[in-house]
Chain A
Amino acid sequence: MAARPISASRRGHQPPDQSWERLPRALSTSAPGPCERQAAEMSANQTAESHLLASNQLEDLPKDYALSTSGDEGDSAGERKHQKLLDSISSLNGKDRQKLAERSEASLKVSEFSVSSEGSGEKLVLSDLLEPVKTSSSLAAVKKQLNRVKSKKTVELPLHRKEIERIHREVAFNKSSQILSKWDPVVLKNWQAEQLVFPLSKTQSAFAPIEHVVSGWKAGTPLEQEIFNLLHKNKQPVTDPLLTPVEKASVKAMSLEEVKMRRAELQRARALQSYYEARARREKRIKSKKYHRILKKGKAKQALKDFEKLQKVNPAAALEELEKLDKARRMERMSLKHQNSGRWAKSKALMAKHDLEARQAIQEQLARNRELTQKVRAASESEEEEEGQEEGEEPLVPDMVNGVQIKANGLNPWMFWSHFTDAKEAEVQKDLEDPAEPEAQETSESEEERAVVEEETLLKEFEERRSLKQKSELSHMAEPVHRRVTKDPSSQEVLSELRALSQKLIMENHQSGKQELSSARTAQREEPAREEEEPVLLQRPERARTLDELGREGCVENKELPRTAVERLQLEKNLSNHIGAPKEKKRKEQMIDLQNLLTTKSPSVKSLAVPTTVQELEDEEERDQRQMIKEAFAGDDVIRDFLKEKREAVEASKPKDLDLTLPGWGEWGGRGLKPSAKKRRRFLIKAPEGPPRKDKNLPNMIISEKWNIHAAAHQVQVLPHPFTHHQQFERTIQTPIGSTWNTQRAFQKLTMPKVVTKSGHIIKPIKAEDVGYRSSSRSDLSVVQRNPKRLSIRHKKHLENNCVD
């Protein structure tokens, strides 16, 4: 209790404990003891409880106090003192503690707090006062009160007036903004509305549902009655036209057996599905790489077989399959699978030094990669080189300029590539085909075949083992022996079947192998063997062509040893290049500059259906004329002039550098002396490079870069509000709104006025009732409280600030 922080007393106002300290002294200094008087008075008028309480306290005051109980002083003085006591006690409540003790005697020591501490020098502590009364329970109330008083904090200095006003304002603002914020959605809605019609009409209440209207309506005219009679007679459904009662009944009538059958069917299907799913899940969980590899191979083989079958049965579908395979190949080519970048390839590369197998595997992959990447490029390779050379010579004119001459038949220049590839289609087609059957490579040699078969059996066994393991785990090794017995014959059967199949395949291969040249492209090679069987296949144009090619190749390299796929490809490319040589040469001619753009011979119109008599005559003349033209235009070089003009235009449009050198400043001056290069470089302010010219890539074109000021005056020069970038704004003004470009309705809608007012109507301000709010101010607040989310961000911020304050 006594340990009150002293710092509290340093403040301007007085802490309560001090007043407590003060109280007894005050009592002591005041001459008459008010105690008895108090008691007497109490008996006279026992009024307030507090008074009673106070009296009790004072009765129990410690005895060591010198209570001058002599009643020598006058009544009035006693009254005053009593009043003072009352005051001091009531000040315990903390209301007006500030009342200073009155000094009635002269004393030397006057404390800063105008408390006279005469007599004893030592400090008085409240706990000392209370010590003797510890035991008495009657003081509990006082203690309590003391505690209560102690727990109370000091009252802070009242804020500055301006400060207070500010807070008031803020609170008022928050309140009013909260109230107003209920209008935010309404305002926003009106702001975003395409059109506002004033005076605002109330939103219409919901339309009555059609059933109500219908039920309320009765057939009035005789015709109506007749119609409705008919309808009702047939029990035609009026509201729900899905099923007539008869139909419903027929639906209901389904025999029990049927239902049972159906149910059983469904059950069976469900069970099958679940089995299948379980199996798929199980297989999916298998992590063995070997298993997956074998599985993949097996699948590929199966696919090949299916394809062959399909070829026999349905060539068109087979063609489609082929397309798909081709697409797969292309996808693969696109992917980086066969680059050396994969994890596997990297690891193998590490191992390659020591491991022969790894090296082989890597080489295989490299070969495959080469094979994949070379193919399409093969046709255009040589040409590209030439292009590169040409570019080196004449960088001014891009090649695409010259691309024109090729397709004088009026093809789009952008389609140049496809056009060009059309010519090469045969080769490419052929190329595309063989990677479709890489998996066929194994089948060519019988040994490999056998290996594959083995693999397949392996796969089967693998699977068996796996399932067995699982089953055994499940069935707790109940009957393993029996299982094996039952399983073995089945696996044997499978094996024998596979053997038979492989044998067949080998036989086929041997047959075809006689005509075969290499180990690659088995699928194609099997075809000649089957030529007699399926003439239909030959009717497909590309296929026929590939066969042709094959034949040709056969002629060329009849006695050559089988080569690797890569070598073979190379050879083919050469061949195709050789064939396409004249075409290529022609194309090379067309890779020319601007000069040639204008001078090249373009196909002349011989096929004009002009009456022939004149045409024949003109034909000879024409030759002479052409000669004449050549001679006539030999002198004036139109192109050089044009290029010169263009260069000048480019120079003129370039921003100019600023040269600030002063000749003779810092060095020798005089006639014929030029400022040094270093100095010039130092004082040259380079102009920033402008945007690239529009005609940078157009050799036959000069486009003026001048700014059209007159047109710019009509352009928008300021970005309107919500837009931050001009492109965004441009997008919103792209559609024309004039009636020239729009239908009448669209035009009307596009040019609809934002606000429409009815003439002769008073436009009243919007009311809360209009938008569905109640009007009273309390409800305003409630609205806000109910949906606090509606408060705008600004208001929220304000609220937060307040909380912080």
Chain B
Amino acid sequence: METVPKPDSNVPPKKDRLQAKKKKPRRYWEQETTGTAAGASPGPPRKRKRNRELRPQKPKKNDTSGKFRISKKPRELKSPGPQRSLSGAQDPFAGPAPVSVEVVQKYCRIDKSKELPHPRTKTRSRLVAAEAQEEETSVRAARSELLLAEEPGFLEGEDGEDTAKIRQADIVEAVDIASAAKHFDLNLRQFGPYRLNYSRTGRHLTFGGRRGHVAALDWVTKKLMCEINVMEAVRDVRFLHSEALLAVAQNRWLHIYDNQGIELHCVRRCDRVTRLEFLPFHFLLATASETGFLTYLDVSVGKIVAALNARAGRLSVMTQNPYNAVIHLGHSNGTVSLWSPAMKEPLAKILCHRGGVRAVAIDATGTHMATSGLDHQLKLFDMRGMFQPLSTRTLPQGAGHLAFSQRGLLAAGMGDVVNIWAGQGKASPPSLEQPYLTHRLSGHVHGLQFCPYEDVLGVGHSGGITSMLVPGAAEPNFDGLESNPYRSRKQRQEWEVKALLEKVPAELICLDPRALAEVDVISLEQAKKERAERLGYDPDARAPFQPKPKQKGRGSTASLVKRKRKVMDQEHRDKVRQSLEQQPQKQEKAKPTGARPSALDRFMR
């Protein structure tokens, strides 16, 4: 990612002296130009200059003025000091470019707050090396944030004006033509309420009407790829890993079409599917059926990985957690259950509502989950550890559909109205007090999804499809290697191969994905135990404490014994303390035995 080469010392290393000889001799002006170039541009070297209408001036994270320079640097980033050129002028920006600490912190993964058991010297050196490596990589990552030039859009009311009162027409009027073209309505009253899905790049849109109408199009250019009627009720549609494949949950079975509308597969093992979810990194298509089964279909090999019985009746609410690829199912008893193909039972169950759960949505970072239930409540849960509702709102009608945008905006479809809530900043939960935007549609909402990398919310309703403009919804910077909206066919094929090579096995899905980077303690302990049994002694056991001999005349036998005893007592005390910590539970249990047993009790039958 780093493209800017460092003006390094020009003395060629002797190793390749031969090549140096062959090369053209270096001229002084070559050196001079680099020097003057560095000197001629004082101030922050590169500034963001792009300000679009929809994009606000965010407080610059990369602003270098107030931040200190991170001193611990890998060697090649550190220049040997103020370099002196021949003229005697000094480099005003000596050393590596400064990086903001907060940004670096963002990329740090080692949790240093955890206390480690005291390491030996060899181990310590490894730990230190690991930490240095982490710092180096995170600094590099922070530096490369410079390349994220785009800024998210925003919508701001004039002093005190409620942004929710701004209508779509006003927004369309205000924005540039290209953006305005992204707002459109498809009037499709004939084939009933529509479900819709954007491809991962955000370029393609597919939708399916209840009465069998399925279409896929490049919605930016409005170029239709295919349009068919499957002559069967369509419950859900979903793109697979690319826009070339399309899964349609039809009345009986699951069908897969290509972008020409040709039916490729009919998966009969997935029958009566109500909802579809695609896990892009695992190439898994998760289907929730009326029969209460959650089925995982590996689309790269065409095998069913797992079919799990949720034992909760009809499944009609499903969403995926993009952070850990866990599937969340909403049930009629007010719980949300979390599933992984590796486990036959839910990883967790959360009681969210008093009535049944109508919709579940999880934001892109996996930290917040929004649920709405039949009790007309909309709740926002924190998914990190506590699983507690952060905020709750009672909506007049209750939300039937929920969707999170890439930047954490929450959209809820209630009847024919769509409400969008926004948080204060990135990664902050949307505050449910004031809606950010509202929009009334021509029919009842049936499907909601924010378009990736575009400030657009797609709404499928009984009257067709509406594409709303929601400033600030999407991530402004896309990763060209990961999901490039402008990629060509060839690029897509390349990406497909790479993605398949990097496919994550299905059994790795678990609640905490970072747990995979932990040692399997159970097996470890087991192996240790077995080894000790086999050998007859524990080779790793600590040797009994042997006090070191003190200086001459100090180390009397009595003091040696005393020291030994001290350590022994300490260990004993620790043991007792540990056992005491466990005891109160037992005592509590033992207490309510009631009155003393009578001697005559023994005759009782």
Contact = CB atoms under 8 A, between A and B. Distances in A.
Contact of A715 (B397, B423, B519): B519
A731 B89 CA distance: 45
B377 A602 contact: yes
B392 A718 contact: no
B130 A726 contact: no
A703 B347 contact: yes
Classify chain B: how many residues form its interface, as a range: 35 or more
Contacts of B333: 636, 638, 641-642
Nearest to B341: A710
Nearest to B139: A746
A730 to B, nearest CB: 5
A700 B351 CA distance: 5
Nearest to A641: B333
Given A633-B355, A711-B508, A743 B140 contact: yes
Interface string B510-532: 11000111111111100100000
Given A412-B390, A704-B346, A708-B510, A728 B119 contact: yes
A204 interface: yes
A107 interface: no
A422 interface: no
B407 to A, nearest CB: 16
A136 to B, nearest CB: 54
Contacts of A716: 518-520
Interface string B372-388: 00111100101000111
A594 B434 CA distance: 27
B440 to A, nearest CB: 6
Contacts of A413: 382, 386, 388, 390
A555 B53 CA distance: 58
A707 B521 CA distance: 11
B434 A607 contact: yes
A727 B116 contact: yes
A95 B395 CA distance: 117
A407 B391 contact: yes
Contact of A598 (B90, B334, B342, B438): B334
Interface in A206-243: 207, 210, 214, 223-224, 231, 236-241
A31 interface: no
Given A224-B28, A718-B527, A605 B432 contact: yes
Contacts of A715: 515-516, 518-520, 523
A236 B87 contact: yes
Contacts of B438: 608-610
Given A410-B433, A704-B343, A704-B346, A728 B116 contact: yes
Interface string A190-214: 0010000000010011010010001
Interface residues of A, number: 102
B24 interface: no
Given A605-B396, A707-B522, A410 B375 contact: no
A404 B347 contact: no
A625 B376 contact: yes
A135 interface: no
Contact of B345 (A704, A728, A750): A704
A408 B134 contact: no
B86 interface: yes
Interface stretch (B42-50, B54-62, B121-129): B121-129
A622 interface: yes
Interface string B558-595: 00000000000000000000000010010000000000
Contacts of B355: 629, 632-633, 638
A618 B352 CA distance: 25
A146 interface: no
Nearest to B432: A410
Contacts of A712: 520, 522-523
A8 interface: no
Interface in A390-416: 400-401, 404-405, 407-413
Given A608-B438, A731-B116, A743 B141 contact: yes
Contact of A241 (B89, B376, B433, B524): B89
Contacts of A45: none
Contacts of A35: none
B88 A726 contact: no
A633 B348 contact: no
Contacts of B229: none
Q: Among the interface residues A622, A642, A726, A735, which one has the most CB atoms of the partner chain B within 10 A?
A: A735
B9 to A, nearest CB: 8
Given A410-B429, A609-B164, A711-B510, A742 B394 contact: no
A636 B355 CA distance: 9
Nearest to B523: A717
Contact of B126 (A407, A633, A726, A732): A732
Contacts of A74: none
B349 A701 contact: yes
Given A717-B523, A731-B110, A745 B392 contact: no
A303 B187 CA distance: 78
Given A410-B380, A629-B374, A700-B350, A735 B109 contact: yes
A281 interface: no
Nearest to B135: A735
B519 A729 contact: yes
A283 B123 CA distance: 53
B168 interface: no
A81 to B, nearest CB: 64
B15 interface: yes
Q: Among the interface residues A207, A210, A214, A602, which one has the most CB atoms of the partner chain B within 10 A?
A: A602
Interface in A723-743: 723-736, 740-743
B162 interface: yes
Contacts of A224: 28
B345 A717 contact: no
A609 B165 contact: yes
Given A703-B347, A711-B510, A734-B517, A605 B393 contact: yes
B391 A727 contact: no
A405 B389 CA distance: 9
Interface in A564-622: 594, 597-599, 601-605, 607-611, 615, 618-619, 622
Given A201-B15, A410-B432, A703-B347, A742 B140 contact: yes
A191 B419 CA distance: 62
Contacts of A724: 117, 119-120, 123
A761 to B, nearest CB: 13
Nearest to A204: B14
A428 interface: no
A698 interface: yes
Contacts of A615: 396
B576 to A, nearest CB: 17
B137 interface: yes
Contact of B375 (A408, A598, A736): A598
Contact of B351 (A237, A598, A726): A598
B347 A704 contact: yes
B396 A618 contact: yes
Contact of B122 (A604, A611, A722): A722
A248 to B, nearest CB: 15
B348 A238 contact: no
Interface string A636-677: 101101100100000000000000000000000000000000
Nearest to A629: B375
Contacts of B345: 704, 706
A746 B391 CA distance: 41
B150 to A, nearest CB: 18
Contacts of B382: 413
Contacts of B1: 743-745
Contact of B109 (A237, A619, A734): A734
8 contacts: A409-B431, A410-B391, A607-B433, A622-B396, A689-B582, A698-B387, A734-B134, A750-B137
Name the 5 nearest CB pairs between A and B, nearest first: A241-B88, A710-B507, A609-B164, A743-B1, A410-B431
Given A609-B162, A698-B386, A711-B515, 6 more contacts: A204-B13, A241-B88, A410-B429, A598-B334, A704-B347, A714-B505
